[in-house]
Chain A
């Protein structure tokens, strides 16, 4: 009985957590314009999404393109910057290390709205054109700490002598980085990249404040504008479902790579 209650509690919690997502996913398979009306199973909304038969479809497609482009560029830059930063932090000692790690954590806790507004002010101050450049720079700013956070544990798991061993065998510092350090850190870098990618993908507040007035829309700003115009375009339901599925797959991939590298470290386990 006790077991049943604890099980039931767990399921109730999971259902509450996932109810909105499941709700959207279910209603992406019906044609009804109003969310909540079930007019029979149909994949028409998915078809519309693919063929572009959506009202204002061009704008939506451009928003998707922008989102993916920004996420990709921001995640790539964050991965490189974050990895270099993590190596630097790892080589610091004592109090300095703690201080830098603390500073790295602040942007993650900081509310997006504050990050957004302060970046907006900074870009104006520095006369940086508001648009792609400013949004990508802003995304790199808040994504990099996540990469640092996922690379640091890989560094501390690593045998500290292997970098020196590479130098000892005749590698220049850059060769040692490329041939020894990067392969060792790759799992951390990949999960950092995926994390950064998803963070960038779903960001609204920072993008909203830094995109300027050239009419740059990403998915989140587009959906926001669309919902305010008078009801959500029905085709956004399958779109959200697809995004959710993609992110779910990415998370599974992260979990899998981490588990794989953990078992490789202890083959007996």
Chain B
């Protein structure tokens, strides 16, 4: 397992000033099935295109089998790609499409025929050689695209959301087939998808990307059971994410109760994020042995399980999945076991912006001017401005705030929302609010002067 086949070292890439990939370091082992997972716009496709050679990184290098291939053009790289929209050659039939690479490599005709037949059999498309590719269904076209890549026996197969255009049933079937192909061929697969379920099903290793940065790398079970931050926890599967405090080793307090857990080494009274998967909360009608209680708000049948929303005794909303139904309005007892509590260090405790003093009562930051408590610092002093998440006031119209912004990420924390707002100058502003916003909402950002703390920047 130990052999690295691809090593990405300090890869960065910007498109017209916007950073799409920010210092990516990632290696892929020989024979591994690795998935680059993330929401749209996270840079996963760009990363794949850099590996394939269609796109040059601004910084960093791509190492394959020990040699730097960063400057190698795509046609000289020993890897093949399966494209999102198949990208079959419409003027060639199935046979000619698959034989394209072999013909260029000057493989003898009889050998080409043997290889094409073999690969067609593998993707269960025997007898389709003479068909016009435009007459094939989406699934069949995708099989031809996979065959066209595999017939060249690449060392690494790159797949760019290959199943995104297929319907659900077809997608599930193809997932199983891809997994089997991978096992049989022993080729390294690098797979790009935004579908977390697909990633969990297929991969040996998942690399979660967001905002051009790697969030977490690990096996599907690691990523699911021990997400390292609230983004991963929220993106992979369903989860309850709440604010908590690590009281001491193996003891954490959240939703107004203290729980035993298995985490150590955070220190005493440290704020943390706590993740609990909805299937890990035990729910019962008796309340005497429960750690805390709640009132059932809704109970929806989801096929295998029921999805139940409860309000806890201290006013937090939690999602629970259980095989039994519970009556809406009834009081239930709830238990969370220590090993099911995932504690994560908080990424940040307050907003910290850099700014410049412009007068006794104003500071310039986030591309606008904000009022501050009277200061004795001179005009033009560089300062750090600290603003708590809860102190930021979002307005319906971007003109109503000191600066405008766009809501880019929402996280429900049980009793409030934690929003990431991208201000007009591209800086992130984190906001705690009880109001309901949607992703993509344009907002105005206002801050009450009394909540602002100004510190002179260390020289």
Binding site for B on A (CB under 8 A): 159, 161-162, 164-173, 175-176, 179-180, 183-184, 264-265, 267
- Which listed segment binds A: B25-33, B97-105, B296-304? B97-105
CB contact between A169 and one of B53, B54, B86, B100 (< 8 Å): that residue: B100
Q: A161-B84, A264-B134, A267-B135 are in contact. Are A170 and B90 (CB under 8 A)?
A: no
> What chain B residues lie within 8 Å of A267 (beta carbons)?
134-135
> What chain A residues lie within 8 Å of B89 (beta carbons)?
162, 165-166, 180, 183-184
Q: A169-B80, A169-B104 are in contact. Are A161 and B75 (CB under 8 A)?
A: no
Q: How distant is B221 from chain A, measured CB to nearest CB, in Å?
A: 33
Q: How distant is B305 from chain A, measured CB to nearest CB, in Å?
A: 40
Q: Indicate if the CB atoms of B91 and A167 lie closer than 8 Å.
A: no
Q: How distant is A173 from chain B, measured CB to nearest CB, in Å?
A: 8
> What chain A residues lie within 8 Å of B135 (beta carbons)?
267
Q: Indicate if the CB atoms of A164 and B54 lie closer than 8 Å.
A: yes
Q: Indicate if the CB atoms of A170 and B152 lie closer than 8 Å.
A: yes
What would 8 A/B residue contacts be, using CB atoms closer than 8 Å? A161-B83, A164-B74, A164-B81, A165-B87, A166-B100, A168-B81, A169-B149, A264-B134
* Closest residue of B by beta carbon distance from A94: B16
Q: Tell me the complex Cα distance, A60–B275, Å.
A: 91
Interface positions of B from 47 to 88, Cβ below 8 Å from A: 52-54, 73-75, 80-81, 83-88
B277 in the interface (beta carbon within 8 A): no
CB contact between A170 and one of B52, B105, B134 (< 8 Å): that residue: B105
Q: Tell me the complex Cα distance, A172–B81, Å.
A: 16
CB contact between A171 and one of B84, B91, B104, B148 (< 8 Å): that residue: B104
- Count of chain B residues with a beta carbon within 8 Å of a chain A beta carbon: 26
Q: Indicate if the CB atoms of A165 and B105 lie closer than 8 Å.
A: no
> What chain A residues lie within 8 Å of B88 (beta carbons)?
162, 165
> What chain A residues lie within 8 Å of B83 (beta carbons)?
161, 164-165
Q: Tell me the complex Cα distance, A184–B75, Å.
A: 20
> What chain A residues lie within 8 Å of B149 (beta carbons)?
168-169
* Closest residue of B by beta carbon distance from A264: B134
Q: How distant is B169 from chain A, measured CB to nearest CB, in Å?
A: 21
Interface positions of B from 141 to 178, Cβ below 8 Å from A: 148-149, 152
Q: Indicate if the CB atoms of B54 and A170 lie closer than 8 Å.
A: no
Q: Tell me the complex Cα distance, A169–B87, Å.
A: 12
Q: How distant is A171 from chain B, measured CB to nearest CB, in Å?
A: 6
Q: Indicate if the CB atoms of B104 and A265 lie closer than 8 Å.
A: no
CB contact between A164 and one of B87, B101, B152 (< 8 Å): that residue: B87
Q: Tell me the complex Cα distance, A159–B91, Å.
A: 12
> What chain B residues lie within 8 Å of A162 (beta carbons)?
87-90
Q: Indicate if the CB atoms of B87 and A172 lie closer than 8 Å.
A: no
> What chain B residues lie within 8 Å of A168 (beta carbons)?
52, 74-75, 80-81, 149
* Closest residue of B by beta carbon distance from A266: B134
> What chain A residues lie within 8 Å of B53 (beta carbons)?
167
Which of A159, A168, A183 lies at the interface centre, i.e. has the most chain B CB atoms within 10 A of its CB? Answer: A168
Q: How distant is B85 from chain A, measured CB to nearest CB, in Å?
A: 6
* Closest residue of A by beta carbon distance from B79: A168
> What chain B residues lie within 8 Å of A173 (beta carbons)?
73, 75
Q: Tell me the complex Cα distance, A171–B54, Å.
A: 13
Q: Indicate if the CB atoms of A161 and B134 lie closer than 8 Å.
A: no
Q: Indicate if the CB atoms of A167 and B75 lie closer than 8 Å.
A: yes
Q: Tell me the complex Cα distance, A165–B53, Å.
A: 12
Q: Tell me the complex Cα distance, A265–B132, Å.
A: 11
B89-118 near A? 1/0 per residue, CB < 8 Å:
111000000001100110000000000000
> What chain B residues lie within 8 Å of A164 (beta carbons)?
52, 54, 74, 81, 83, 87
Q: A166-B89, A168-B80, A184-B91 are in contact. Are A175 and B104 (CB under 8 A)?
A: yes
> What chain A residues lie within 8 Å of B87 (beta carbons)?
159, 161-162, 164-165
Q: How distant is A20 from chain B, measured CB to nearest CB, in Å?
A: 42
Q: Tell me the complex Cα distance, A168–B148, Å.
A: 11
Q: Indicate if the CB atoms of B81 and A165 lie closer than 8 Å.
A: yes
> What chain B residues lie within 8 Å of A265 (beta carbons)?
90, 134
Could you list 20 further interchain pairs (A-B, Cβ under 8 angstroms) beyond the known A162-B89, A179-B100?
Answer: A161-B84, A161-B87, A162-B87, A164-B74, A164-B81, A164-B83, A165-B81, A165-B83, A165-B87, A165-B89, A166-B89, A167-B54, A167-B73, A170-B75, A170-B105, A170-B152, A173-B73, A184-B91, A267-B134, A267-B135
Q: Tell me the complex Cα distance, A265–B83, Å.
A: 19
Closest 10 CB pairs of A and B: A161-B87, A169-B101, A165-B87, A183-B91, A167-B74, A161-B83, A170-B104, A168-B81, A167-B75, A162-B87
Which of B85, B86, B100 lies at the interface centre, i.e. has the most chain A CB atoms within 10 A of its CB? Answer: B100
Q: Tell me the complex Cα distance, A173–B74, Å.
A: 10
> What chain B residues lie within 8 Å of A183 (beta carbons)?
89, 91
Which of B81, B105, B148, B149 lies at the interface centre, i.e. has the most chain A CB atoms within 10 A of its CB? Answer: B81
Q: Indicate if the CB atoms of A169 and B84 lie closer than 8 Å.
A: no
> What chain A residues lie within 8 Å of B100 (beta carbons)?
166, 169, 171, 179
Q: Indicate if the CB atoms of B104 and A184 lie closer than 8 Å.
A: no
Q: Tell me the complex Cα distance, A183–B100, Å.
A: 14
Q: Tell me the complex Cα distance, A170–B53, Å.
A: 12
Q: Indicate if the CB atoms of A169 and B91 lie closer than 8 Å.
A: no
Q: How distant is B81 from chain A, measured CB to nearest CB, in Å?
A: 5
Q: Tell me the complex Cα distance, A161–B89, Å.
A: 10
> What chain A residues lie within 8 Å of B84 (beta carbons)?
161
> What chain A residues lie within 8 Å of B54 (beta carbons)?
164, 167
Q: How distant is A264 from chain B, measured CB to nearest CB, in Å?
A: 6
> What chain B residues lie within 8 Å of A176 (beta carbons)?
75
